Amino acid sequence: MRFKQLMEESKERKQSNIVLALDAVPSTTNNLLSASLKILRKVHPYICAVKLNRQLLLPLGLQRGIRGIIEESHRLDLPVIMDCKINDIGYTNRVIAENYFDAGFDAVTANPFVGWEDGLKPVFEEAKRRNRGVILLVYMSHKASREGYGQIVYDEHGKKKPQYVIFAEKALSWGADGAVVGGTYPEKIREVYEILRDEVPIYSPGIGTQGGDIKTAISAGAEYVIIGRAITLSENPEAAAKKFRDASQTP
């Protein structure tokens, strides 16, 4: 099953479009793995997928602790995305993708700055071979996004465009399974959605702690919203996840 279909079915089954960014857990914990699993088990009824980052991978390790989170997520019928932002030459990118897919991840994120030939093409090939997904960064959620993704550049035909517009066009032409556009920039979501429509779903991080509003992001065109600290660092993660899930379904 292709990743896009996997996400669509999870969204329908869970009646949620919330992707949990399990990147930060309370700093008072002495066991990162058990704390992460505890949060996951509490909030799983209100989310449709899990996103992991190097904040967990580096201390836990890919072959041991992270595998436990992946396996538990799958047991709870949740796809798992590795937010690795692949950004190297093709040979290295393929090895990176192979390792994450071997560990059980259903999708990876990648940075289109490196281009296609001898860049991200091997990642897409590996994902297609295994029925896994590739989600491209189009416009990130932090304040300095404009310095890279927002700069005005020339496309391959010599036409001036914002960098993020070119990346959105690449997401469409390369057949990406998703495009990341920060929920902190609803105007960018809206603009990118006009390019991608229903062909490439938009994933919007930055909801909650970074200031993004869930309803605004969804109304602008986000298909999935990625929420981390506003849930994981909450005194009641379950209640926070339910609150966001309910907000996403309220007109």
Residue boundaries of the structural domains of the chain: 3-142+171-249
The mean predicted confidence, pLDDT, of the chain is 93
Range among 80-89, 141-150, 241-250 with highest mean pLDDT value: 80-89
Return the amino acid letter for 21.
Answer: A
Proportion of the chain above pLDDT 90, given as a percent = 80
Indicate whether 154 pLDDT > 90. no
Active-site position among 38, 42, 85, 242: 85
- Over residues 3-15, the pLDDT tens digits come to 999 999 999 999 9
Confidence of residue 150 (pLDDT cuts 50, 70, 90): confident
Rounded distance, CA 157 to CA 216, Å? 34
Indicate whether 28 pLDDT > 80. no
Active site residue 121: no
Query: For residue 86, which of 64, 113, 52 has the smallest C-alpha distance?
Result: 113
Q: What is the CA radius of gyration of the chain?
A: 17
- Over residues 157-175, the pLDDT tens digits come to 888 998 999 999 999 999 9
pLDDT (0 to 100) of residue 158: 83
240, 230 contact by CB (below 8 A): yes
Indicate whether 29 pLDDT > 70. no
pLDDT (0 to 100) of residue 24: 84
| Mean pLDDT confidence for 105-117 | 97
213, 183 contact by CB (below 8 A): yes
pTM above 0.75, yes or no: yes
List the alpha helices (DSSP H) in the chain: 3-14, 32-43, 54-60, 66-75, 90-103, 121-130, 145-148, 163-173, 186-196, 214-220, 229-232, 237-249
pLDDT (0 to 100) of residue 216: 94
Name the DSSP class of 212.
B
pLDDT (0 to 100) of residue 192: 96
The pair of structure tokens assigned to 70 is: 């992946």
Assigned fold of 3-142+171-249: TIM Barrel (3.20.20)
Query: For residue 69, which of 95, 98, 31, 97 has the smallest C-alpha distance?
Result: 31
Rounded distance, CA 149 to CA 223, Å? 21
- Over residues 189-238, the pLDDT tens digits come to 999 999 999 899 999 999 988 888 999 999 999 999 999 999 999 999 99
pLDDT (0 to 100) of residue 72: 97
Confidence of residue 149 (pLDDT cuts 50, 70, 90): confident
pLDDT (0 to 100) of residue 64: 81
